Amino acid sequence: MTTDEATPDTDAADIPEINDGRYLYCVVQAESDAQLETTGIDGESVSVVAENGIGAVVHACDGLYDTDDLGQIQRWLIRHQTVVDAAGEAFGTPVPFQFDTILRGGEAGLREWLREETDTLQPVLSELAGHWEYRVEVVEYDSPDDETLVNQDERLSELDAQIEEASEGQAFLLEKQFDQRLTELRAARRETMTAELETELAEEAREVHTLERSPASEISKVAGRDRGGSSRDGDDDDDTDTDSPGDDGDSEAENNATTADSETICRLTLLAHEDSEDEIGSILDDVAAEDGIEVRFTGPWPPYTFAPAIGDDENNDDGDGGDTGGPARVGR
Amino acid sequence: MPDSFQPSRQQSDLADIVEMLLDKGIVINADIAVSIGDTQLLGIQLRAAIASFETAAKYGLEFPEGTDMQRVAEAAGDPELAEMERPKPAIDPTRGVNVTAADDDDDDDGSDDDGDEAGGDDGDDDASDDETAQDDTDDETAADTEGDE
């Protein structure tokens, strides 16, 4: 019934059958008698299947969860997360799967897979034990206005003066240069602030990665993942807004992170031991104490961003450390 | 402000959940597994919906002004939504995703095979009625963040 509900409008013939699938929530360190009292997506009953000390938290299903109903997606996502949370509480740091990951072959297939991947999963589980993902977003409410930047930057004041005296046509071109310079300065300022914070956090966290300033682009990349769209080249933690100086082309991306009265300076994700929470909190305290700065600090999350890709990598976009390239794949 | 900055899972976490669950997590690259990233055929609707999710995600999945969060929580069957702080006004509310649209999807309330969504036997925080929404938040979204805004 899950399938029927999940894919009401889809031409069933197009969808590969999954007979006796197992929907995967996470793996945990667990012995064979492990149990988890919780309810899964769509009310399914969740069980723990363990081999070699590795427990997979799963429910039985026979199709991918698919719907165009946002409310339904939200419910599924939150339920998935709730199950992973329950697993974390019961067994310690869970290593979570991507939403909608289903293994074929019933329980036997799952056990077989766990045995085959023991050598991959076991070290991941022990390395991540006691560690969680934390997310930090720094938002600035009074970014320096244009005038302040003009006063601070020689090139800008120069352009400003030239514009005053230029003819209409020249002024137009100069204004473009002026805007571009402003954009560059703002980006450079963000980068400096971000780099400082990253350095500080790196002393307490095991890993620190920069995320795109707006989550939207991440999500659109998921939507385009099968076209290889989820990977970007290495230098681009900020390219949504700096690489295209055209004053229209970049405005959409820019708007994602910048509103009329605030600007996202950075979004970071950290992998840190739970004992380091206070130290990280106190670093962020200092940042948040600055005027006009707001810091959002969420977690502890299961280490989604630091979970590995498993299996042959023929589906990976090769080369540039793309989206499925192992624990460090957020390195943008 | 609390003494030391503690991480919370309250304010912006829906956006985080969407991003992490859909884009991160263990990926299995093997024939034995299927996932939304696999083929053009899988998860089409989901991916389309996610594209429209973007509008909401831009604003940290803020719900439009005046949204009754209690109602959203009921519709979503997840009490923690009710605990979300009233979001900041969306920049352009007309572009926000109307989450209450979930109301017309009554599967969970209507069909009896889904009974546990309505709060019955599962011991965790799945209950979707108002009262339990209040006292169910203890472990997951401890309401200890006064959110500094």
The pTM score is 0.66
Residue B141 has pLDDT above 50, yes or no: no
Q: Mean pLDDT, to the nearest integer, of B129-135? A: 39
Short-list A306, A301, A309, CA closest to A208: A306
Residue A279 has pLDDT above 90, yes or no: yes
CA dihedral over A77, A83, A88, A91, signed as positive or negative: negative
Residue of B1, B3, B5 to mutate for A, most A C-beta atoms under 10 A: B5
Same domain, A297 and A314: no
Contact indicator for B101, B111 with CB cutoff of 8 Å:
no
Same domain, A240 and A325: no
Contact indicator for A257, A213 with CB cutoff of 8 Å:
yes
**Which own/partner contact pairs does A279-283 have at CB distance under 8 Å and 24+ positions apart?**
A279/A204, A280/A134, A280/A201, A280/A204, A280/A205, A280/B5, A280/B7, A281/B4, A281/B5, A281/B6, A281/B7, A282/B4, A282/B5, A283/A197, A283/A200, A283/A201, A283/A204
Same domain, A80 and A17: yes
E strand residue ranges, chain B: 27-29, 33-34
The verdict on a CB contact (< 8 Å) between B19 and A218 is: yes
Same domain, A315 and A235: no
Q: How far is CA B94 from CA A92, A255, B52, B65, B84, in A?
A: 43, 16, 13, 10, 21
Same domain, A283 and A322: no
The verdict on a CB contact (< 8 Å) between B50 and A73 is: yes
Residue range B14-24, pLDDT digits in tens: 778 888 888 88
- Write the DSSP symbol of residue A86: H
Closest in B12, B23, B107 to A222, CB measured: B23
The domain spans of chain B are 12-50, 52-86
Residue B63 has pLDDT above 80, yes or no: no
Same domain, A97 and A208: no
Domain membership of residue A62 as a residue range = 4-117+310-330
Q: Minimal Cα–Cα distance from B86 to chain A, Å?
A: 16
Same domain, A137 and A232: yes
Closest in A103, A218, A222 to B33, CB measured: A103
pLDDT at A74: 82
Tell me if A166 is assigned to some domain. no
pLDDT at A191: 94
> Could you check whether the bond before residue A16 is cis, i.e. omega within 30 degrees of 0?
no
Q: Mean pLDDT, to the nearest integer, of A294-323? A: 72
- Percent of chain B residues topping a pLDDT of 70: 21
Q: Mean pLDDT, to the nearest integer, of A4-19? A: 53
pLDDT at B50: 64
Instruction: Assign B42 a pLDDT band (cuts: 50, 70, 90).
Output: low
Same domain, A204 and A318: no
Q: How many domains, in total, are found in chain A?
A: 2
**Cβ-Cβ contacts under 8 Å, A98 against chain B:** 21-27, 35-37
The verdict on a CB contact (< 8 Å) between A298 and B19 is: no
Same domain, A268 and A138: yes
pLDDT at B39: 56
A111-115, A194-198, A283-287, B64-68: the lowest-pLDDT one: B64-68
The verdict on a CB contact (< 8 Å) between B28 and A101 is: yes
pLDDT at A280: 96
**Cβ-Cβ contacts under 8 Å, B99 against chain A:** 70-71, 74
Q: How far is CA A168 from CA A147, A155, A161, A179, A289, in A?
A: 22, 20, 14, 16, 45
Residue A130 vs residue A13, higher pLDDT: A130
Residue range A45-59, pLDDT digits in tens: 999 999 999 999 999
ipTM (interface pTM): 0.71
Q: A301: nearest CA in chain B? A: B9
The per-residue pLDDT of chain A, averaged, comes to 79
- The arrangement of strands across the sheet holding A263-273 comes to A207-211, A263-273, A131-140, A293-301
The verdict on a CB contact (< 8 Å) between A219 and B101 is: no
Same domain, A249 and A289: yes
| Beta carbon pairs, A and B, within 8 Å | 291
A139-148, A167-176, A319-328: the lowest-pLDDT one: A319-328
* Beta-ladder partners of B33: A103
Most confident of A102-116, A258-272, B97-111, B125-139: A102-116
The per-residue pLDDT of chain B, averaged, comes to 52
Tell me if A17 is assigned to some domain. yes
Same domain, A71 and A200: no
The CA distance from A96 to A88, in Å, is 10
Q: Minimal Cα–Cα distance from A154 to chain B, Å?
A: 34
What angle in degrees, to the nearest 10, is found between the helix axes of A168-204 and A154-165?
A: 160
Contact indicator for B78, B4 with CB cutoff of 8 Å:
no
Short-list A201, A320, A193, CA closest to A271: A201
The verdict on a CB contact (< 8 Å) between B33 and A311 is: yes
